[in-house]
Amino acid sequence: MATAIVLKLVHEIREDLPRAGVPKLHFMLQENLAAHGIKMGRDALYQVLGEHGYLLRYRRRKPYTTDSDHPYKKYPNLIREIKYLTHPGQLWVSDITYIRLKDKFAYLSIVTDAYSHKIITSFPP
- pLDDT per residue over 31-86, tens digit each? 999 999 999 999 999 999 999 998 988 766 666 777 788 899 988 888 888 888 99
Helix (H) or strand (E) holding 96: strand 92-100
* Eight-state DSSP code of residue 25: H
Stretch 109-123: mean pLDDT: 87
Nearest Cα to Cα of residue 27 among 11, 12, 40: 40
| pTM reported for the whole predicted model | 0.49
Nearest Cα to Cα of residue 97 among 109, 85, 89: 109
